[in-house]
Structure 1
């Protein structure tokens, strides 16, 4: 498995919009397209940043799943509607990670 930390820098005044889009659209579409969402966080210092982690089988699966997600008519229309008052996200960064053998999480799974 690989884990993708995604960091979204949100435009000022758009935090409610991104929360609505994730909770009402994006998470279900991720699941539909084989992407497991592990958790979400807001920046603890009040910055307009959302962090979340996706789990993928491997990089090839990640690329195919995101390709299918971005082509999904529900995503295209939902994104369009959510941005009628302007873009929500300024920038997205991704960091790819692999779990180390001594991770405490390995004992849970």
Structure 2
């Protein structure tokens, strides 16, 4: 099992729209492509608002295939297109980290 940490810079001007899009659309479509969301947070760091979440994957190959499938999803592409027209850019910088447990790490589900 590996975990993936994603951190998105989000903007106060359209933060509510970002959260609605992730909650109502991205999470649902991700589930359809095999994503397992462990937890989600809003955080602040160095003067910016961030959205952070952790995904659980059985292995790196599954993670890569699921992301490719999600990015190619026509429904997701259309949602991103229409929300960008309505609300502008909703995500700035993105950080992506794959976290592999140490041999002494407690077991996480």
Q: What is the TM-score of this pair, normalised by structure 2?
A: 0.87
Deviations 1:31-65 (A, max 9, x none): 11011000001115683100100111211111111
5+ long unaligned stretches in structure 2: none
5+ long unaligned stretches in structure 1: none
Deviations 1:57-101 (A, max 9, x none): 211111111111011111011111211131100111111102234
**1:18-57 superposed matches below 5 A:** 18-43=18-43, 47-57=48-58
Give the whole-Å Cα distance in 2 for the aligned partners of 1:94 and 1:100. Answer: 19
Q: What is the TM-score of this pair, normalised by structure 1?
A: 0.87
**1:1-109 superposed matches below 5 A:** 1-43=1-43, 47-84=48-85, 85-104=87-106, 106=107, 109=109
- How many residues in Structure 1 have an aligned counterpart in Structure 2? 107
